[in-house]
Chain A
């Protein structure tokens, strides 16, 4: 069953288009992410769902309820929407204790004291904060404040949970840990999550499905693996993971198999569902290139950098610099002359602006 449904949402500030033609749905039990660079409109969409912004166009459903419809003039105020939200800066009220922060949504519902205390205990237990109930936010670490915000968002048992870059203010170690905790929490509670982030690693690791946004529009919706291996366009290919772009030419195609010529006169057969022909851009992931002295395409190692679980190279082949990542133990010196083999590649149309060289 769908828990959030967004139909053709648009948000404009004067002439500035923050979001346009956004349509997607989040299912029950689903962890759904909106991913994109800053300014792509992902937060705007989330804030429209929360009711903190009013859409210029479109419809939003939460559960069965239509909370927004510009056509019918429906705009349910935030405070009446069945949702919980965690903000980027946690927004834990500094003048209230952890107890009062988390209990606040229930107090507003005017529940009996005992009921509140029971539910509060559960909520604090869920996020592991039982012992800190009497503290003020200024006495908490960033990670603890984060948990307070989470408990506060969950305590009124909302239909959906909205998370606005909740991990971006944590340090790297804690971020990693919270990632697993959030995912675990979602599995345990079964609450559907709409998650906004600019961090592709986060989105890939946590989401059941994600939507990649660019310039106010959704470019691709899919499961993480699908988006990584079959990016819909060059933007997604570039934004998700690392990617080498090399210009090439399609020599011939039969069905979904195309033969492309690039890096001098190197030829490769590529699975490609588009119907491109002629000039094109060949995209290759760094891990899809392997280096060996016997490799067909001759190249020279320019930079080699060791980072623990893998070795990162920049090699020059036919005047083009390529990024190569390998977990193999064999390591090559800077300046070494050797060869490379490309195992897999994707094709995109040529007449697009060049992405920045990394």
Chain B
């Protein structure tokens, strides 16, 4: 190739390649590398440490069994609800579905805070139990492994629900009808035809819930650390506080390993599902199961469940935000707006809101721009090597956020480039965290833009830049805006990365809520959380409107 017709797209590829290298690859490599380093020499000492101290290897075991238990409960709850909502004539299914998805739109540590308000000592439900129903003690303890599994399940069951609901909707109705005409009754059809067909979806959803639970920091941090019950993510947090980088990186590498294995399994299950050609993309509506006499009973039960897991935590958060002080008797005299007043004039909270808005907006914009270029190079230009770039940019998807935070400390908190204590290190971490989302959403957007639309621009005489400006970007714009909001919203409420990277003056909203809650200022934490909740629910509605209900929850 001569210089005259050098393909400029390679320039774009080089630029994004450097970006991915600095933001993703180099930091993550540092984690792996440092876990094998002891006083500058390669060694397995850090791993030996993990396996010789019970408190560390127990964290690994805890992580695994907590995630397994969560996944199992999610599979049961998610599958049952999916069946009810998709395949029966339950009244009000659409509303139920929307409400079921609601908790997932809120950050998991908000859920932990709300459930502490409800079930913790002096919690609303605990008080109901003790004072109104007259029990001597409550038969539960939210600050325990059980509490963690409970809140994780309430937060992640939706992943099973969505995958199973999707499979049930895509299933060819004639398969069941064939069983019916062969003489099978309703129950037999469900057990022998429907359930086996959606089993891969149940498995895939369960594995997603497992990965979610494994990588979660907020819930085990708020519910477990007080009871000295540690999982991998909280142990890493603890190891960083010592600080013991060898230990933190060794634990991180193990966390990533478990996550990768699970993700590989999930990938396999999904491929297995696609081999089942019977579940196709056809829009044949499967028949609805008539519930008859139990229809109203089931409706009441489902509504009660939705009320319990979706509505109650939100109400609890708002109620707490309105209380004069935490634990006050619930009377009109004790309701006040002073917490909102206080939190909005609280300097750290003001700073945090500005910081989070800034970080969210910049991270969303940069991630979407870089993501769009990467996905253009891969999906449309199909340049040699662009597949690798796309793959490298999606790696952080498999990496728990705790590990990404450590990676940033190792890579960008030491001379010559020390970003520690600045907003920039949090920004770089956010970029790593959200780049996969950006690439994925633009990938699917650009896949819908037919290749010939760009080719027609080329045969019309358009070079690279006019082509991007006039054809590709306008056509990808709706998807890019949706993607921007999809990055901005979670970034606004981010906790895990920020809590490990923040310093005085660089707090984020998540950090301030967490610290207020941790220091016992629950009503003020609740006030800030309520404001963010309002923003998130509004943003969610906006994004559903923008994408016609395809994205968002």
Contacts and interface: CB of A to CB of B under 8 A. Distances in A.
Interface stretch (A22-30, A101-109, A286-294, A331-339): A101-109
A79 B457 CA distance: 8
A43 to B, nearest CB: 12
Interface stretch (B162-170, B196-204, B448-456): B448-456
B33 to A, nearest CB: 36
B466 A95 contact: no
Contacts of A91: 450, 452-453, 455-456
A87 B452 contact: yes
B470 interface: yes
Interface in A83-135: 83-85, 87-89, 91-95, 104-105, 108-109
Nearest to B7: A77
Given A73-B1, A95-B474, A108-B466, A156 B452 contact: no
A156 B452 CA distance: 19
Contact of A152 (B455, B460, B466, B474): B460
A161 to B, nearest CB: 10
A43 B454 CA distance: 17
B462 A108 contact: yes
B2 A85 contact: no
A269 B2 CA distance: 61
A95 B459 contact: no
Given A52-B455, A93-B453, A79 B5 contact: no
Interface string B1-12: 110010100000
Most buried by A among B459, B462, B463, B470: B459
A50 interface: yes
A156 B1 contact: no
Given A94-B475, A95-B475, A104 B457 contact: yes
A200 interface: no
Contacts of A94: 475
A79 B458 contact: yes
A77 to B, nearest CB: 6
Contacts of A84: 459-460
Interface in A47-102: 50-52, 73-81, 83-85, 87-89, 91-95
A260 interface: no
A346 interface: no
A68 to B, nearest CB: 11
A240 to B, nearest CB: 28
Given A85-B459, A152-B460, 10 more contacts: A50-B458, A74-B2, A79-B461, A85-B456, A93-B456, A93-B475, A104-B457, A108-B461, A108-B462, A108-B466
Interface of B: 1-2, 5, 7, 450, 452-453, 455-463, 466-467, 470-471, 474-475
Identify the 8 closest CB pairs spanning chains A and B, nearest first: A91-B452, A91-B456, A78-B458, A85-B459, A105-B460, A87-B452, A108-B461, A95-B474
